[in-house]
Amino acid sequence: MAKRWYVVHTYSGYENKVKTDLEHRIETFGMADKIVDIQIPTEEVTEIKDGGKRETKESKVFPGYVLVRMELNDDTWTVVRNTAGVTGFVGVDGTPSPLRRSEFNKIMRRTNGRGAEAHKHTTTTTDLEVGQTIKVVSGPLADFDGTVSEVNAEAGKVKVMLTIFGRETPVELTLDQVTVIV
């Protein structure tokens, strides 16, 4: 029988514990040939803190979910379902629904290199908001004050209105070139 990817719902924050506990249960019940892989999709998220300091951390793409590649039968379902922290399978009317290969590939492309088709993906978040007053801390416009008019965290850019030669001028800067004036 074919091994397919299934989505298992867990208590949020228990994904790693579920993976570890499930790995032990697979070994204990001799299911290694039927439950062959467990993935917790994560991505690197870079946050820009006050002062332009970058902080990179790993973040779960789908908190509260774990992907399990297995041959679905009553025994494997029972081993997975009765793992501490597991609340059920994602499916219709209590029946686990396997992921299509394209869905699995799309999920794993967002992760940090885990899985055969995975590619690195970095998301940037920032505390900057439109309307905030900022100071440019580096580059040719250093020491200018301005107002945030647009934030593009994904691209790591911010558009600010600076007063240059007495005129409001829109300038695009990288997030690490600005700091919030408190």
Contact 16, 67 (CB under 8 A): no
> What pLDDT is attached to residue 82?
95
Query: Mean pLDDT over all residues of the chain?
Result: 83
The crossing angle, in degrees rounded to 10, of helices 15-28 and 74-81 is 140
The mean pLDDT value for 164-171 works out to 80
pLDDT in tens, 68-122: 999 999 999 999 999 999 999 988 877 899 988 888 877 777 564 444 333 344 4
Dist. CA 28–CA 32, nearest whole Å: 9
pTM above 0.75, yes or no: no
> What pLDDT is attached to residue 11?
92
Structural domains present in the chain: 2-110 (3.30.70.940), 130-178 (2.30.30.30)
